[in-house]
Amino acid sequence: MTTNENWDLSLIYNRDDLFYEDLKQAKELLKTLFESKTTYLDSAENYLSFLQTNTSLSRLVQKMHVYAHLNCDVDPNNQTYQTMMSYVMSFIQDISTQLDFFEVDMKENEEKVLTFIKDHSFDDYRYVINETMRQNKHVLSQEIETLLSETTALSQVPSQAFDALRLEFPPLIINGHPNVLNSATLNMYLKNPSQQIRRTAYQQFFGEYKRFENVFAVTLSGVMNKDAFYAKVRKFNSPLEASLDEDNAPVELFDKILTKANKDYIHLFHKYNALKKKALGLKQFYNYDLNAPFIKIPNKQYSIDQSFKIIESVISIFGEDYLNIIKLAKTERWIDFHPKPGKRIGAYSSGSYDTRPYILMNYIGDYQSLTTLIHELGHSAHTYLSSQYQSPVNSEYRIFVAEVASTVNETLLINYMLEHARTKEEKAYFIHELLESCVGLMFRQPMYAAFEHELHSRAARNEPLSSQTITDLYKQMNEDYFGKDVILDEMTPYSCYYIPHFYYNYYVYKYTLGMTVSLAIVSRLLKGDAKQKEAYLNLLKSGGSEDPIDLLKHALVDPLDDQIYDDAFNYFETMLNELESLLFK
Ligand SMILES: [Zn+2]
């Protein structure tokens, strides 16, 4: 490994004591804010100065946090950074305790504040303050808020119990030898050529969930009851409305995403399943056969330089500015490439307004590594451009739009690989990769969302949720989801207890929207749509300066308009047809 292949965090602090200088300064700022508690709303000047000091404080905190957590993630046993991390975390706690007056103040002084922010000096703050005011409609009296904050720890018990449950799976016997079965190895067995092995792995794995079904029913219904409780006390019409409020998204959007995936276009997923059944030549095609191999995996390796070359070609469609960001990532060393003992697994992009958007990788040189690299570079370019074009308060983008930048890149990469593929087999492989990621995000997540929504609704109506009712519902939904060509295994109803996302309060449909929007954008970019390109690049520069839905509308991908779904699913169908002709013609 050359030194260019780990990240350069000295661009944040080139000496560790600079971290502590910032911490000292941040503490001063917090003191100033706290001391102005009774005077900061006396005049527009005081208020503006309070907001600006608060911005300076969060910038420092974010910078310190990025420095500590990046260091800890590659070197978890280094006490220097563990200490920094604990300083940052306890300081963040101090901030939220000492500044807890702000939310209630904003509610009680709404008229005054709205008058203050009419002035141009508040331009940067207007959007966030209006957002705070909007969300404040559901903030209750100080007394009830205090009571509610006391319930936080109690409300976390269901998900804590879910996380704490560690199942032990019986070993999988293959050719007389025991093999480790757990959530990390399950996928590998589901890709095994032998149907017998796939079935046994699936049944043994989810059999454990069945064994503890009553415990999981309690944790799952607990979290549904929790969400229903907070929605009710905060006077939302439903748990769904409470969750959407955060992004100021209408219930109509949620319904549309689910209708498109679960009804209007579900036949495309069924068609894909039928194709797999035919390709595998199985008479009895079960849901544990969906990952069985029917495409040859090319044994190609990509060095870091080769990956960058490909990425630069893919990205060149966006022009010089974007290309320069990719080059900076390399020359300024934003990326920590290689796996090493103790280093965090997986990959992410992380940075703040005052740091580079760093990338953690566990690069092993296969196609997956290349995909992950271009995905994370998408996030980093988004962060970089948003910081460059937005003020610090408006630069941070939300989950809703976050996955667009990464998924657009990933999809463009697949198209590039397809164009450059030399054999039919290679082509089939790349299309298969694309279809699989589409299925996960555009079909599976909406089914999960519909299931979660039904559980939330039953909880809101105080209907009891037993394991029998939960698994019956999940069975029915899976039958509709997979279609007539797929036989459900008897353990499938219990597989709902495996999925952590049901504990995240309506999170999954946001992935779906990200993928749908991305496919719509890519399908237009590939047709040479210059307006779409311009609008997309503007989206990357807009951070969190508007409601996510408005940002998408301005990027010409209005999520309430049927067109993006039609574009995305039609693109999926085109790819599916291409795979069909590669395999059978
Ligand atoms: Zn991502």
Which residues share a beta bridge with 172?
179
**50 assigned to some structural domain:** yes
Q: CA-to-CA distance for 158 and 491, rounded, in angstroms?
A: 23
Q: What is the mean pLDDT of residues 179-206?
A: 96
403: pLDDT strictly greater than 70? yes
Q: CA-to-CA distance for 469 and 456, rounded, in angstroms?
A: 13
Helix (H) or strand (E) holding 559: none
How many angstroms is it from 513 CA to the middle of ligand 1? 13
pTM of the model: 0.91
Q: Could you tell me the pLDDT band of residue 299, with boundaries at 50, 70 and 90?
A: confident
Helix (H) or strand (E) holding 191: none
Which pLDDT belongs to residue 297? 86
How many angstroms is it from 321 CA to the middle of ligand 1? 21
How many angstroms is it from 377 CA to the middle of ligand 1? 9
Which pLDDT belongs to residue 2? 54
Q: What is the mean pLDDT of residues 209-217?
A: 97
Which pLDDT belongs to residue 255? 95
**73 assigned to some structural domain:** yes
How many angstroms is it from 422 CA to the middle of ligand 1? 29
Q: Could you tell me the pLDDT band of residue 114, with boundaries at 50, 70 and 90?
A: very high
Q: What is the mean pLDDT of residues 193-203?
A: 97
How many angstroms is it from 239 CA to the middle of ligand 1? 26
Which residues share a beta bridge with 168?
none
**Burial code of 201-228, b = ≥16 C-beta within 10 A, e = fewer?**
bbebbbebbbebbeebbbbbbbbbbbbb
How many angstroms is it from 316 CA to the middle of ligand 1? 21
Which pLDDT belongs to residue 253? 93
Mean pLDDT score of the chain: 95
386: pLDDT strictly greater than 60? yes
Q: CA-to-CA distance for 479 and 403, rounded, in angstroms?
A: 29
Q: CA-to-CA distance for 433 and 207, rounded, in angstroms?
A: 29
Alpha helices in 139-291 (DSSP H): 142-155, 157-164, 183-190, 195-211, 213-233, 239-245, 251-259, 266-280
Render pLDDT for 79-89 as a digit per residue (tens, 0 to 9): 999 999 999 99
Which residue carries 């089914």 as its tokens? 447
Kindly report the backbone phi and psi dihedral angles of residue 557, in degrees, each rounded to the nearest multiple of 5, phi listed first: -125, 70
How many angstroms is it from 370 CA to the middle of ligand 1? 14
Beta strands in 351-397 (DSSP E): 358-360
How many angstroms is it from 401 CA to the middle of ligand 1? 10
CATH number of the domain to which 67 belongs: 1.20.140.70
How many angstroms is it from 142 CA to the middle of ligand 1? 38
511: pLDDT strictly greater than 90? no
Q: What is the mean pLDDT of residues 547-566?
A: 95
DSSP result, 516-552? HHHHHHHHHHHTT-HHHHHHHHHHHH-TTSS-HHHHH
**489 assigned to some structural domain:** no
Structural domain including 95 reads 3-154
Q: Which strands sit side by side in the sheet containing 358-360, from one edge to the other?
A: 335-336, 358-360, 348-350
- Round to the nearest angstrom and report the end-to-end CA distance of the chain: 45
**206 assigned to some structural domain:** no
**49 assigned to some structural domain:** yes
How many angstroms is it from 275 CA to the middle of ligand 1? 29
What is the tally of structural domains in the chain?
A: 1
Q: Could you tell me the pLDDT band of residue 3, with boundaries at 50, 70 and 90?
A: low
How many angstroms is it from 540 CA to the middle of ligand 1? 14
Q: What is the mean pLDDT of residues 39-47?
A: 97
How many angstroms is it from 378 CA to the middle of ligand 1? 8
How many angstroms is it from 406 CA to the middle of ligand 1? 6
How many angstroms is it from 368 CA to the middle of ligand 1? 14
Of 8, 257, 248, 224, the closest CA to residue 135 belongs to 248
How many angstroms is it from 45 CA to the middle of ligand 1? 40
**564 assigned to some structural domain:** no
**62 assigned to some structural domain:** yes
Which residues share a beta bridge with 335?
359
How many angstroms is it from 403 CA to the middle of ligand 1? 5
Q: CA-to-CA distance for 327 and 343, rounded, in angstroms?
A: 25
**13 assigned to some structural domain:** yes
How many angstroms is it from 96 CA to the middle of ligand 1? 28
DSSP result, 118-143? TSGGGHHHHHHHHHHHHHHTT---HH
How many angstroms is it from 348 CA to the middle of ligand 1? 7
Render pLDDT for 440-491 as a digit per residue (tens, 0 to 9): 999 999 999 999 999 999 999 999 999 999 999 999 999 999 999 999 999 9
Per cent of the chain over pLDDT 90 is 89
